[in-house]
Amino acid sequence: MEIIKPQTGRILNIAKGQLLKIIDLEGKQVADFWAFDSDNHSEFLSAGVTIDCNNKLLISTGDILYSNLYRPLFEITEDTTGLHDLIHPCCRKEMFEHFYSSGNHPSCLDNLNQELTAIGKSIETEINPFNIFMNTRILKNGKVTVEKPVTKPGDYIVLKPLIEHITVLIAACSVDSGNCNGGHCSSIGFEIM
């Protein structure tokens, strides 16, 4: 198992036939997950298309993550929690300034961009990742709240790639205020099987 330290990110390449297991090591930690076709960088994971194709906001075992071109990218083969978020963007400098009056803070977008510089790529604008283990609630009045994740130490999700070569970015979410990570950032583990 490899470790993504708190408030950092990792980039990795996986191929069809492998499995990716993402593990909440201490519990209550969100992992921002984004990916793109290694052979065609303009095709990437789309939270909106994933919602559209699965016809639901909560996805879990047996559901598919789709690309912006409506192509299946991953199948969720195992999931111990069943609570993940598809509607929130990556945290970034502007979000910390807006909500917490602090722009000088590690962010998932910066952490993912730091990893992408190794391959000469960057994300110019916001992305909407698959926020693994994030507990988002939509109330009857339409308001959206972020509650503490329900994960316990060792909870995990397993993703099966459905295209030949895929580049994956994972960030151990940097939000250390509010409920998102239970008010405390910790590490995320992963295994390629």
pTM reported for the whole predicted model: 0.94
Say if CB 191 and CB 2 are below 8 A apart: yes
Q: Which domain holds residue 158?
A: 2-192
pLDDT digits (tens, 9 = 90+) for 90-102: 887 887 787 776 6
Number of domains in the chain: 1
pLDDT digits (tens, 9 = 90+) for 36-71: 999 998 999 999 999 999 999 999 999 999 999 999
Residue 91 pLDDT: 81
Please report, rounded to a whole number, the percentage of residues in the chain having pLDDT higher than 70. 97
Residue 177 pLDDT: 84
Between 112 and 72, name the one with better pLDDT.
Answer: 72
What average pLDDT score do residues 5-10 get? 96
What average pLDDT score do residues 168-180 get? 92
Q: Which residues contact 24 (CB under 8 A, 6 or more apart)?
A: 31, 133, 149, 151, 152, 153, 154, 155, 156, 188, 189
Q: What span, in angstroms and rounded, lies between the C-alpha atoms of 24 and 53?
A: 27
Nearest in space to 36 (alpha carbons), one of 144, 123, 137: 123
DSSP conformation class of 118: G
What average pLDDT score do residues 3-16 get? 96
Residue 62 pLDDT: 98
Burial group, residue 7, by CB count within 10 angstroms (0-12, 13-18, 19+): buried
Query: Quick check: 187 pLDDT over 90?
Result: yes
Backbone angles phi, psi at 188, to 5 degrees: -120, 140
pLDDT digits (tens, 9 = 90+) for 111-145: 888 888 888 877 766 788 999 999 999 999 999 99
Tally Cβ neighbours within 10 Å of residue 184.
11
Using CA atoms in the order 38, 185, 174, 58, what is the torsion angle rounded to 10 degrees? 60
Residue 103 pLDDT: 61
C-alpha atoms less than 13 angstroms from C-alpha of 51 in its C-beta half-sphere? 13
Query: Quick check: 182 pLDDT over 80?
Result: yes
Residue 101 pLDDT: 66
Residue 124 pLDDT: 63
Tokens encoding 111: 């952490």
Mean pLDDT estimate for the chain:
92
CA 43-47-150 angle, 5° bins: 135
